[in-house]
Every structure is written in structure tokens, then in C-alpha cells.
Structure 1
Amino acid sequence: MEKSKGNPLALLPFVIFLVLFLGTGIISGDFNKMPVIVAILIAAGVALAMNQKESLNNKVETFCKGAGHPNIILMVIIFLLAGAFSEVAKGMGAVESTVNLTLSILPPNLLIVGLFVIGCFISLSMGTSMGTIVALAPIGVGISHQTDISMALSMAAVIGGAMFGDNLSIISDTTIAAVRTQNTKMRDKFKTNFFIVLPAAIVTIIILAFVSTGGHAEVTQHHFNILETLPYLAVLIAALSGVNVMIVLAGGIIFAGAIGLFNGSYHLLGLLQKIGDGVASMQTMAMLAILIGGTVEIIRYNGGIDYLLYIVTRKIKSKKGAEFSIAGLVSLTDLCTANNTIAIIITGPLAKNISDQYQIDPRKSASLLDLFSCCWQGIIPYGAQLLAAAGLASISPVSIMVYNFYPILIGICGIIAIMIGFPRLSPRKKQAKLEAKETKNKA
């Protein structure tokens, strides 16, 4: 049966979105000039105005069907809970204590390696690359001021660690988006993704140790409270144990809040305010997910998704080719939008169609989406991560690119993983039987 070639004109809203967002950034030199939510609102308006054969009521109904898809709504709820946990944990001192704890046990001659390792741990716990960069960049600046270590190298180590957790953390918005769009489990995606990027992390540590040899400084005493590090640790352990992510995040909020009340960081109303602030911090991302979901559904209804699938898959002859197409789709979208979460939300439905058609395990497709979007997000000089680090260090983001070892290496590892079919995943049917057996045993 011949594949539907779809309708290329249906992609016009997506093209307009990219032109508005990317074009404004190129012309102005500031990719924050055009609010991404405004760009997607305009694109959604264009999508609703197209296909005059359909009534406006039908098009609005189609839009709402996509915007209100169970995966989108669940993603929104998880985004809001993740924001609340992050804000509550930060407010009760978890970030500062966790950073200082790690700094206290690092030997002075491994400060840059330590920055990367700390960044990996913090970002894995916090689920945010930007939060990790804001927490660690000042420390990296201080290290460079006290040693002969390049400021750009320090910032690259921070960014590399930040992207480690952005790619893997169970409360990272990129991970949430990848898991939800591919309809897989957080724990399974983590395991698959971790084995792909682990060699990149090890090689990065070796490279950083080599290039920073000889640079060290006297480190002052860092004060920390073990109790304040427990919320991150509890969330990480619970998530890896297979507990539902909503329960993990809700429990993390309660646990961090209880410690905050105990140590005097919060009073009850202050805690509630922090929860509200955390939810509010994710509202834009939640609205983006809803608007993109609706717009993509109209594009799909008008034949745009079929056309993209036809273009991307027409020369695919194997599962490896399909995996490379998923990697290419999300990479191109991230280069255009400079936002890895948005790139995953946009390309996720396409990747799901490709993975279903070519029988790619959803654990692998989710890992590829997250891995390659984070790879490019950690490299591009106009991305928020490099801009934030460069701003805090008062250097050019381009100077950091030379030392972006980890983002480059995860891209290389991703390519190798596709070529050699790594990791070897158990068949989905076998996996389903094992999960059913586990559920029966628990009952």
C-alpha cells in the first residue's frame, strides 16, 4: 500500500513559527526578543485560518482535541509539579547544601572535574540545566579567578554537567516530554539513555582532568546541612525504583516542605507561596505544550504530518535509518528554536509515528529525542544555557564552544548507539510479560 504524501501547505504554521522565532533572533541578535509563546500563538492562529473547506467550529474542535490529549495534559501536570518541587527545595537550602557538600569532598587539584561531577549530580537531582548553571557558574568563576584555569573551560564544565541531568533527570522537562510523547516509562527511558551517555561522561572527566592539570587553588570551608540534601536524594531513589512520577514529585514537595518548616526556612504560608511560585514558573512551558499540541493536531488533520513522514521516511530502508531520521528531526528543530523541550514537544508525535512504523522501541526513541536535543542545546551559542553561563562569567558564549566536550560527546555516542544497535533492549512483548509478572507478584 502506497504511503500518503500528505499536504506540504499544511506545514505553513510551523514554518511561520520558525521564521518568527528564529528570524527575529537572527535579525536582532537576541533570541529572547520574540517570546516563544507569542510565536506559537500566531502559528496557531494561522493553522485555524487554513483549510477553508472546514468550518471554524470543526477546526477549533480539532485544535482542542490535540491540546487536550491525555499525554499533553499529564505532561502539563508533571511540569507544574516539577516546578513546585524545584522551588520548594531551593528555598529550604537544598541547592546550596548539595553544592557545598560536594565541594567539601573534592581534592583541590580536581576542581574542574569536580565542577562537572557536581553539575551532573545537581542537574540530575534538580532536573534543570538553567538552575544548575545559575548555582554553579559563580563557583566556576571563582575557581578561574583563583587559578590559571580558563574561564571558558570552567563554564563549559558547568554546562556539561548541567546538560547531563537535563538529558537524564526524571524531573527534567525534556525527559518528561520525551517519555510522554513516546508513551514509555520514565525508569525505562532513564536506563536506556544512561547506558548511551555514560561513556561520554567518563571520557569528559578524563579530558577535563587532562586539560586542567596544574590548575588548583586553596578552597575555603563550605558549610552544608546533610538534612537539606535529602529531598533530592529521596526523589532520585524513588524515581529509579519505579514509583509513579506524580507521586515522586508530590512526595518530594511534601518532604522538602517539611524539612523547610523544621529548619525554619519556611512558615506555612511562606511554603504555600513557594509552591505557588514554582507552579507559576512552569506556566509558560505548560501553555506551550497545550498550544503546540493543538497546532500539531491541526497540521496533522490537514496532512502536514503525513507529508513530513513521507519526506523523512521515503529513503529509509532500515530501523537504523529510522532512528537517524528521529535524531535529525529533533536536532534540526532544536537548532531552529534554541529550546530542547520545545524541540521534543514539536517532533515527539512525528518520532512516535516513525518508531511505530519501523518498530523502534519507545525507550530508544525517547532516548534519541532527549539525547540529540540536549546535545545541540549545549553547543549552540544562542541557546539559553551558553548565554546564561557567558553572562555570569562576562565572556563570549562562542569562547565556551571550544570546550563543550560533553554535549559533543553525547552526540557522538548517540550516533554510535544507532549504528551498533546499542543498548540491546529486551523485546517489548517480553518486557510486558515481565512487568505483568512483577505486578502479579506484588499483588
Structure 2
Amino acid sequence: MEQGNKQEMKLGWALLPLLVMIGVMLVAIVLLEQGPHIPLIIGTAVASMVAYKHGFKWKEIEEMMYKGIRLALPAVVIIILVGLTIGAWIGGGIVATMIYYGLTIISPAYFLVTICLICAVVALSIGSSWSTMGTIGVAGMGIGLSMGIPAAMVAGAVISGAYFGDKMSPLSDTTNLAAGLTHTNLFEHIRHMLYTTVPGLFIALGVYFWLGRRFSESGTDSSDITQTLAILQDSFFISPWLLLIPLAVIVLVAKKVPAIPALVVGIALGFLAQYVIQGGTLADSVGALQSGYVINTGNELVDNLFSRGGLDAMMYTVSMTIVAMTFGGILEYSGMLQSIMNQIVKLAKTAGSMIASTILAGFATNATCSEQYISIVVPARMFAGAYEKMGLQSKNLSRALEDGGTLTSVFIPWNTCGVFILGTLGVGAFEYAPYAVLNFIVPVISVIYAFTGFTIAKLHVLQTVPPDDQRQAQ
């Protein structure tokens, strides 16, 4: 399979692999109730054939796949470490302690608002939505489910809070990436995002407050919560001192320790907590890291909450990430994605349509390339010159990249973010999507601002009058 003479990638050919993949995906997920792996593999096969038809050699197509996978390797490492963290923290009684005190302190009526705000503060402090969801989010799911709140609602509140903090944190990699690629001052970029993201958070909190009214104490079976608390006390050693372990991880990341070594510290502390404090055997402690913690109390809710985590549990997520990135790699490096992006750019004739097109491009890249980093990088390259020609400051582009790329990544089931959330919180994208309010309302706010001109910063060109002409005018 050797071929040369690369041809220009027409829009129809560029769209073909995507349309085939989405069509097969709908059949597999909706009708057959299967996972997205096989549809992505079929999409990859079609993309490979399209690339080959347009003059790419097979070795080049293979390299495109490998490039895509390389982009996802940092995410794969984090996914694995989060799986180990969940197993270690459940076995060490850390998650049980957070759930125990959460059930005794937080009112069910205000739980969705509370967990959203807690995740927002933690993510803002450490700059990572994934680390927040993999630690605080897991405990939040346990508390919410124990209160009788649907998993999709809890996951939506966790996601909204985590992505608010991640988006607004100067420690966030996506925030720094969007600012750096557009040559925008980091704090100017963050200040400009306040106009869309803070209203989005208030709307999300309002929705969670409204949803939480049905879970008031009078509408919640207190006997179920009492039973859960008793089982937790019988199954784990509960102590507020165990909360120092997640606090230590948060402090480390806030001190700009990279996420990987910070998570490793959390895993080690959780492992020691299970072995020393909870009285588990060495085999049990290692087993919790490998295959997850297992508990049998006879209570279905508690057993489901605490029988999870470990390296093995994350292999579905890892395999999904690798398969998705092989598909995305071919689309990106064969020019298919660029062909699609070029058509989107052509539609932008005004400032409003330019910003709306950027947000649409971010969402489209999340769907096609399955990675939120690419949804920032590719549109940034495509739109930078167009924004300058239209007289728009770069912070408009950096904000649109985050509003359309970072936030919408969670709505694509085969995107690395959607896959991570499924593996960590146990809820699929189609289930939590209606409740991830911040993530879908901020892009809407951003588009409204774009077409009304509100907060859209223009480039100011100062025109000086020559001295002679100035004197004549006087």
C-alpha cells in the first residue's frame, strides 16, 4: 500500500468518516446498547481509506494514529492514577469519612448547590477538573446517592463546579493553553471569561437550588441515611484526621506540584491508611489498587458505592481514549479536520458570527478528535488571523476557545473527558448532559454576547494627525 501525489481534501470526503462514525455510534449506543469502541474503530477504518485515496501512504496513516495516541498519553496516565486513587481512598476509609460527614452536615435540599460550590473552590485552587472529579466528585456521588438524589443530577453539579474552577484557575493547563496560543495575557484572559462564566455559574446554582427543593428533609427517608451512617461506622474507621489526606493533595497541587506526583502522594497515603488505620492486610491494600475495593454489607447502595476503583476498572476508559485518539489523529493530520474548519471560517462574516463559529468549531473538534486540548489548539490556529483582520482583540478568541472547547468536551461520550467522567463518576454523557448546566449555558451566553456586541473587545488603532495638517486645521 504505497501511494503518493496527495490530493486536496474536499469537504464531502472530510465529512464522510465523521458521518459514518456518528451513524454507527447512534445504532450501537441507542439501539444495541453497546459501547462506543467499535463505532470509533469503524470510523478510523473509513478515515484511513479516505486518507489513502487522497495520496497518503499507509506508513503515514499509521503515524497519524500514533501521533493522536501520543497526544492522549498524559490523559491516560492521569486516568490510571485516578483509578488507583479511588481504590486507595475507598480502602483507606477516606471516601467513607467524607460521605459520613457530608451526610451529617449537608442538607439534602442544598446538596446540589453545595457540591457544585465545593468542586468549584477545589478546582479553582488546584486548576484541575479531572483531579477534582476523581476525588471530591467521587465522595459527592456517594453522599448524593445516599440522600436519594439521582446520579445524573449529582454528576451534573459536580461537573459544573469542577469545570468552573478549572476554567477560571491560573493553574489550569487549558486556561494557560488558550491564553498562550492566542498571545493573550493570562489574567486578562481570565478577567474576560468572568463575563460569561460567572453568570453561567449563578444560573447553574439557581437550577440546582430549584432541583434540590424536592429533596428536602421532609421528602427524604431519614431512616435510609441513618442506616447508611451505621453501616459506614461498622465497615470503616471514621475520623476527621483522614480528611488531611485529600487536603494534602489539594495543597500540593495548589503549591504548583504537578498533578502526577501529587496524585501519587495521595495514593501512597490512601494505601497506608487502609493497611495501618483500617487494619487491612497487605494483600487487600494491593488488591484495592489493582482491582478495586470490594465490600459486602448486604446493603445494595453501600456495596455499589464502595465496590469500585482500581487499575482494572480504568482499562475501559484507557482503551476508549486510545481508540478515540487514533480516529482523531487521522482526521487532524490528514487535513480532514482543516477542511471542515475552513468551511466554518468562511461562514464568519461579522464579529458575532466569527465568535459563534469559533465556539461551534470547538464543539466540532471535540466530537471529531475526541480531545479537549485539540479543540483549543486547532481553532486557535485557524481563527487567529481572522480575528486580527476583523479588528477583534485576542482575548475574544481565547475566551471563545474555552467556552466552546473546554466546556463542551463533557458532552461527547467518546471524548476523553466524557470517557473519564463515565469511568470516575459512573454516569454517561447522555445522562448527565441536562444537568451539567454551566457547561451548556456558558457557550449560549457567549454567543449572545457575540451578536449583541456586549463585552466584545475591539482593537483600537490610534490615528495621528501630521503636525503641518494639524496647524492648518487650527
Shorter-chain TM-score tier: 0.5 to 0.7
Work out whether residues 289 and 345 of structure 1, in 8 Å CA contact, stay in contact via their aligned partners in 2: no
How far did 1:127 drift?
Answer: 1.5
- Structure 2 residue 366 is matched with structure 1 residue 365: no
Shift of 1:21: 0.9
Q: Deviation at 1:300?
A: 3.2
Distance in 1 of aligned mates of 2:371 and 2:74: 18
Counterpart residue identity of residue 90, structure 1: I
Q: SS at the partner of 1:54?
A: coil
> Match of 1:65?
67
Q: Flag structure 1 segments of 5+ consecutive residues without an equivalent.
A: 142-150, 391-395, 424-443
Contact 1:292–1:346 (Cα < 8 Å) also in 2: no
Q: Which has the higher contact order (CA 8 A, sep 6+)?
A: 1
> What is the 5 A alignment of 1:30-429?
30=33, 33=34, 35-50=35-50, 51-52=52-53, 53-68=55-70, 71-106=71-106, 110-118=107-115, 120-121=117-118, 126-128=132-134, 131=138, 134-141=141-148, 157-167=153-163, 195=194, 197-206=197-206, 208-209=208-209, 212=213, 215-217=216-218, 222=229, 224-264=238-278, 266-277=280-291, 278-317=310-349, 321-331=353-363, 342=370, 344=372, 347=375, 349-354=377-382, 356-357=384-385, 358=387, 359=394, 365-366=401-402, 368-374=404-410, 409-415=441-447, 420-421=454-455
The C-alpha deviation readout for 1:356-383, integer Å capped at 9, x for no partner, is 5555666763454232344788xx9xx9
Give the deviation of 1:304 after TM superposition: 0.7
Deviates more, 1:222-231 or 1:243-252: 222-231
Partner of 2:21: 17
Name the CA distance, whole Å, in 1 between partners of 2:68 and 2:28: 28
1:302/1:214 CA distance change after superposition, 3 Å: closer
Query: Partners in 1 of 2:180 and 2:88 — Cα distance?
Result: 28
Q: Which amino acid aligns with 1:64?
A: Y
The verdict on how the C-alpha distance between 1:93 and 1:299 changes in structure 2, with shifts beyond 3 A counting, is: same
Compared CA separation, residues 85 and 355, structure 1 to 2 (3 A): farther
Question: If the length of structure 1 is used for normalisation, what is the TM-score?
Answer: 0.67
Q: Take 2:449 and 2:271, find their aligned partners in 1: how far apart are those partners?
A: 41
How far does the alpha carbon of each residue in 1:229-251 deviate from its partner, in whole angstroms, 9 at most, with x for none? Answer: 23322222322332212222222
Q: Which amino acid aligns with 1:14?
A: L
Change (3 A) 1:6 1:293: same
- The RMSD of aligned alpha carbons is 4.7
Which residue type is aligned with residue 146 of structure 2?
A: I
Task: Describe the SS at the equivalent of 2:56.
Answer: coil
For residues 279 and 405 of structure 2, the distance between their equivalents in structure 1, rounded to whole angstroms, comes to 38
Change (3 A) 1:54 1:231: same
Native 8 Å contact 2:115 2:140 kept in 1: no
Amino acid at match of 2:10: N
CA contact (8 A) 1:261 1:267 kept: yes
The one-character-per-residue Cα deviations of 1:190-218 (angstroms, maximum 9, x if unpaired) are 97799554444444445555672994349
Q: Measure the CA separation in 2 of the matches of 1:14 and 1:313.
A: 19
CA distance in structure 2 between the aligned counterparts of 1:210 and 1:295, rounded to whole angstroms: 41
Structure 1: how far apart are the matches of 2:334 and 2:426?
Answer: 39
**Equivalent position SS for 1:282:** helix
**Deviation of the 1:355 alpha carbon:** 5.7
SS in 2 for 1:243: coil
Task: Describe the shift of the 1:365–1:410 C-alpha distance in structure 2 as closer, same or farther (beyond 3 A).
Answer: closer
Preserved contact between residue 328 and residue 370 of structure 2 (Cα < 8 Å): no
- State the distance in 2 between where 1:64 and 1:112 align: 48
Q: For 1:115 and 1:417, how far apart are their aligned partners in 2? A: 28
Deviates more, 1:114-123 or 1:305-314: 114-123
Residues 47/122 of structure 1: CA separation in 2 closer, same or farther (3 Å cut):
same
Q: Which residue is 1:439 aligned to?
A: none
2:39 is aligned with 1:7: no
Instruction: Report the 3-state secondary structure (helix = DSSP H, G, I; strand = E; otherwise coil) of the residue aligned with 2:98.
Output: helix
Conserved? CA contact 1:122–1:132, under 8 Å: no
Are 1:168 and 1:194, in contact at CA under 8 Å, matched by a contact in 2? no
Whether the 8 Å CA contact 2:407–2:440 is kept in 1: the answer is: no
1:428 alignment counterpart: none
**C-alpha distance in 2, partners of 1:84/1:43?**
31
Q: CA deviation at 1:54?
A: 3.4
**Aligned mates of 1:272, 1:320 — CA distance in 2:** 55
Q: Gaps (5+ residues) in structure 2?
A: 1-6, 124-130, 292-309, 388-393, 458-474
CA offset at residue 126 of structure 1? 4.5
Q: Is the 8 A contact 2:43 2:327 kept in 1?
A: yes
Change (3 A) 1:343 1:75: closer
8 Å CA contact retained: 2:352, 2:447: no
Q: How far does residue 72 in structure 1 lie from its aligned partner after superposition? A: 2.5
User: 1: distance between equivalents of 2:215 and 2:56?
Assistant: 69
CA-CA distance at 1:307 after TM superposition: 0.9
CA distance in 2, matches of 1:404, 1:279: 27
Q: Which residue of 1 aligns with 2:294?
A: none
- Code of the residue aligned with 1:139 in structure 2: it is S
Q: For the residues of structure 2 that align with 1:313 and 1:37, how far apart are their CA atoms? A: 31
